[in-house]
Structure formats: structure tokens, C-alpha cells
Amino acid sequence: MKYASQKVAYWFFASAILLLSLQIVYGFIMGFAHLGYDGWHSVIPFNTARAVHTNLLVVWILLGFMGSAYYIIPEEAQHELVSVKLAYIQLISFLAVGVTAIVGYHLNYWEGRKFLEIPRPLDWLVVINVLTFLGIILATLYKGKKRTTTSLVMTMGLVFAALLYLPGMIWFDNQTMDSFFRWWVVHLWVEGVWELIMGGILAFLLIKLTGVDREVIEKWLYVIVGLTFLSGILGTGHHYYYIGVGKIWLIVGGIFSMLEPLAFLAMALFAVGMYRKGEKKHPNKLALYWTLGTAILSFVGAGLLGMAHTLPQVNMYTHGTLVTAMHGHLAFWGAYGMIVFSFITFAMPNLTGRKLYDTAIGQLAYWLTNVGMIGMTIAFGVAGVAQVYLERKVGLEFGAVQQEIEVHFFILILTASMFATGILLFIYEFFRFGKPNNEAIGIEE
């Protein structure tokens, strides 16, 4: 850590991992419901559990991104954040809006549009909050000495993410139009602008951890985000196949979304390449593991498993089945969960001054979470493929098929327990570092 204001990142990270643990609780509620145990039904019906699960996911990932930005931008711009007080206010108000929304989901107060369940009045509070965040980041960059490519790419991702939230707030009478613009948020986030944020964080981590020359790393960063937009923008078409718009999307969406894995492949090759090239002197080995892990698992979860069902001929059958849930889990975890975990692992020793590098518990957390999540992906995948065959090919009734595939949710619960144990260990390790403090300034290099 070089600037005192970077300390604010700690509180974003602490909030993020605590909300993740709550997300997991609701995941278990849904897993058990699929297994046939829906004892919570009268208090937390499935749709409540689901809205909470996916919204907490988005909220903790965004908190992770914001925390990372508050750490990275001062260091890259060589300037303290313009206002630390405002950053704390922004955190607290963001949490307040999130908690209100989640309480609302238990009281049938929501807007039932997948991933965008936050009711309209709260949406406006989110907008104000995000504008505050962007204001702090942009003002810091503006006043800073340097505007590096890494910081610009990351900021561009954050600004576009905010802009793209807006089309999701328009009411349409027509379900087709509703769905059309919902994807401007959901798809263009995860397969577009969030990749810029991820790319920026990844570049920063590789510069610090491998010691490879910044110019080389930032050149590749441009190539990666270039591939992202080149494929991802028109790739939105893979959500337009079957919602009531024209067949042109079958061709455009099919071709361009098949190219989307290239950006993730480039990220994996880039991370491994820089690791090979680097000096391997940095003591924070665990952060390097997480960084290489995210580059590789995002390619598997988003790239390969996305590609597996993105052609219209395949998607016709898999669309809206547990196959989608399989891909959703490994993609979100591999790309955005793990990049946040990489950054936390990198930042904690620097924020607190405690050199708990490469501990046994940290290692165990790494393997349990990742192996557990791969297991969950397999469980969802097997259930999904069986569902597609029985329901879409053979034509059995939905309920009959669900009973056939119930057993896979037992495996899901087992592997999810492994994952959850890993998360608990990670959280334990996080709090073992203690609080961030000013003695930690300037100790790392």
C-alpha cells in the first residue's frame, strides 16, 4: 500500500465476502428444494431464495470491483482518493440499498425480471450511489499524476457498466422488448464491460506479481479487451434466438458468440505467459495461484462451457434448462468470483502489513473452493443434460423429469458443502490479517 486512502478497500472486501456467505446459505435452500426438501417454502419460497442468491452475487462482485478500484486507482494515478469520507458513505449506502432490496424480496416487493429484481425506486438509489463512486474514481484520476492504460481500461469498464444499467430500467408492455433490453444489462455486463474491469485488475496483478514490463502487459490488455468487444457486442445475439425477434440473430449471434471464448483464451495464455516470463520473486504465491486460477477457470466456465450451448441448433434444446445453471456457476465463479478473490489475496498483506503469505489454510481454501465448484458444475451439468434429453427430446412432463434427476442435487449439495467450507476458511484467513493500518504504507517494495 502506498496511499492511506487505499485502506477503504478493506471494508469493501470484508462486506463482499460476508455477503457471499449469505448468498451460499440461499443457494443451499434452493439446492435442498430441488432435492425435494422445501421446508422453508412458507417463509422463503424458491423465488425469494433465487432472487436473494443472484442479487447478493451481483452485489458482492460489484463491492469487490469497487474495493479493487479504490485500491488500484490511487496507486496507478499516484494520488490519494479525493475523498475517503465520501467513499465510506458510498459503501454504507450501497449496503443499505442492498439490504433493503433483500428484505423486500421476502415480502413480495420486487420486479420479477431475472437478475434485475430490484424495484424501480431502489434502482434510482443505486444510480446515485454508483455516480458517487464514479465521481470519486474519475476525480482521483483527473487530479493524479498518471493515467495508465490499466487504470483507464478499468475505469472505462466501470463507467460503461453504470451506463448499461439504464436500459434495464425502462418499462415495456411487450415481453419481447422487455427481454431484448434486459440483455443489454445482463449480457453486455458479463460478456462485455465486466471483462474490461477484470482485464484491468488482472493486468495490475500481473504487473505487481510477475514484475514483467508494464508496456508488454498493457499491450496485451488492449488485445484482450479488443477481442472481448469484437465478439461480445454482436454475441448478444445468442440471447435473441428465441424471444420473438428475427432469424438474422441466429447467424450473427451464433458466429460472434462462438468467437467470445477467444478473449478468455487470450486472458489464460496472457496470464500463464507472463508468469513464465516473470521473475517469480514476489512472496505472495497464493495471490499468483488465484490469478492464474481465474484466468484458466474463466476460460473453462465462460469460454468452453459457454461455447457448448451457444450455437442456435444446440441452444434450441438447452435454452432455459439446468445446462444454463451449470455454465452460469462456473462462469461467474471462474471469472468474477475468482478475480475478486485474487485481488483480496494480493491486497490483504499490503493493507495490514502482516505477511501471512502462502499459509496452509489459505492453500486449503483455494483447493476446496475450486474443486468444490468444479464438482457443482458437473452435478448441474449431468442433471441438465438428462433434463434436456428427457424433456426436450423424449417429451416427458417437466415434473416427471425433475423427479428423475433429483439425485444429482444430492451430489450438488455434497460438492457445494466442500465449496462452502473453502469459503469459510478464506473468510477465517481474511479476519486473521486484522485491520488495515498506516504502518503498512510503503512496506511492500
Partner 1 sequence: MLSKSQARTFFLGGTIVTFAIFLGLSWNSLSNDVPKQTNPQNLTDQVIRGKHLWESNNCMGCHTIFGEGAYYAPELTKVFERRGEGYMKAVLTSKQPWAPRGRKMVAYGFTDEEASDLIKFFKWIGEVDLNGFPPKPDVKR
Interface with ligand HEM in residues 84-113 (CB under 6 A): none
Among 88, 142, 222, 367, binds partner 1 (CB under 8 A): 222
Amino acid (1-letter code) at residue 96: A
Closest Cα partner for 217 from 268, 163, 161, 149?
149
Amino acid (1-letter code) at residue 249: W
The Cα–Cα gap between 236 and 239 comes to: 6
Taking CB atoms, the residue at the shortest distance from ligand HEM is 306
Nearer residue to Fe ion within complex by CB, 64 or 235: 235
All three cell numbers of 158, joined, read: 466501470
Based on the shown chain and the rule CB under 6 A, indicate whether residue 27 belongs to the binding site for ligand HEM: yes
SS (H, E, C) the chain: CCCHHHHHHHHHHHHHHHHHHHHHHHHHHHHHHHHCCCCCCCCCCHHHHHHHHHHHHHHHHHHHHHHHHHHHHHHHHCCCCCCHHHHHHHHHHHHHHHHHHHHHHCCCCCCCCCCCCCCHHHHHHHHHHHHHHHHHHHHHHHHCCCCCHHHHHHHHHHHHHHHHHHHHHCCCCCHHHHHHHHHHHHHHHHHHHHHHHHHHHHHHHHHHHHCCCHHHHHHHHHHHHHHHHHHHHHHHHHHCCCCCCCCHHHHHHHHHHHHCHHHHHHHHHHHHHHHHHCCCCCCCHHHHHHHHHHHHHHHHHHHHHHHCCCCHHHHHHHCCCHHHHHHHHHHHHHHHHHHHHHHHHHHHHHHHCCCCCCCHHHHHHHHHHHHHHHHHHHHHHHHHHHHHHHHHHHCCCHHHHHHHHHHHHHHHHHHHHHHHHHHHHHHHHHHHCCCCCHHHCCCCC
Based on the shown chain and the rule CB under 6 A, indicate whether residue 168 belongs to the binding site for ligand HEM: no
Nearer residue to ligand HEM within complex by CB, 155 or 179: 179
Name the minimum Å distance from CB 11 to partner 1. 31
Site for partner 1 in 170-199 (CB under 8 A): 173-177, 179-180
Among 196, 238, 340, 368, binds ligand HEM (CB under 6 A): 238
Based on the shown chain and the rule CB under 5 A, indicate whether residue 50 belongs to the binding site for Fe ion: no
Q: Which stretch binds partner 1 (CB under 8 A): 95-103, 223-231, 415-423, 435-443?
A: 223-231
Q: Which stretch binds Fe ion (CB under 5 A): 186-194, 209-217, 297-305, 416-424?
A: 186-194
Site for ligand HEM in 172-231 (CB under 6 A): 186, 190-191
Measured torsion, CA atoms of residues 83, 4, 61, 22, in degrees rounded to the nearest 10: -100
Q: Are 197 and 156 in contact (CB under 8 A)?
A: no
Among 15, 140, 150, 257, binds ligand HEM (CB under 6 A): 257
Based on the shown chain and the rule CB under 6 A, indicate whether residue 369 belongs to the binding site for ligand HEM: no
Beta-carbon count within 10 A of 204 CB:
25
Based on the shown chain and the rule CB under 8 A, indicate whether residue 34 belongs to the binding site for partner 1: yes
**260 contact, one of Fe ion, ligand HEM, partner 1, none, CB 5-8 Å limit per kind:** ligand HEM
Based on the shown chain and the rule CB under 8 A, indicate whether residue 277 belongs to the binding site for partner 1: no
Nearer residue to partner 1 within complex by CB, 100 or 437: 100
Nearer residue to ligand HEM within complex by CB, 310 or 352: 310
Based on the shown chain and the rule CB under 6 A, indicate whether residue 324 belongs to the binding site for ligand HEM: yes
**354 contact, one of ligand HEM, partner 1, Fe ion, none, CB 5-8 Å limit per kind:** none
All three cell numbers of 343, joined, read: 485481488
**14 contact, one of partner 1, ligand HEM, Fe ion, none, CB 5-8 Å limit per kind:** none
Site for ligand HEM in 384-423 (CB under 6 A): 412, 416, 419-420
Among 34, 187, 309, 319, binds Fe ion (CB under 5 A): 187
**176 contact, one of ligand HEM, partner 1, Fe ion, none, CB 5-8 Å limit per kind:** partner 1
- Total residues at interface with ligand HEM (CB under 6 A): 43
Nearer residue to partner 1 within complex by CB, 88 or 172: 172
Name the minimum Å distance from CB 61 to Fe ion. 16
Q: Which stretch binds partner 1 (CB under 8 A): 88-96, 129-137, 240-248, 289-297?
A: 240-248
Beta-carbon count within 10 A of 241 CB:
19
Site for ligand HEM in 113-152 (CB under 6 A): 114-115
Q: Which stretch binds Fe ion (CB under 5 A): 81-89, 185-193, 199-207, 326-334?
A: 185-193
Contacts of 248 (CB under 8 A, 6+ apart): none
All three cell numbers of 309, joined, read: 450451448
Report the interface residues with ligand HEM, using CB under 6 A: 24, 27-28, 30-31, 34, 50, 53-54, 57, 114-115, 186, 190-191, 238, 257, 260-261, 298, 302-303, 306-307, 309-310, 315, 319-320, 324-325, 327-329, 331-333, 335, 337, 412, 416, 419-420
Residues at the site binding Fe ion, with contacts judged by CB under 5 A: 187, 191
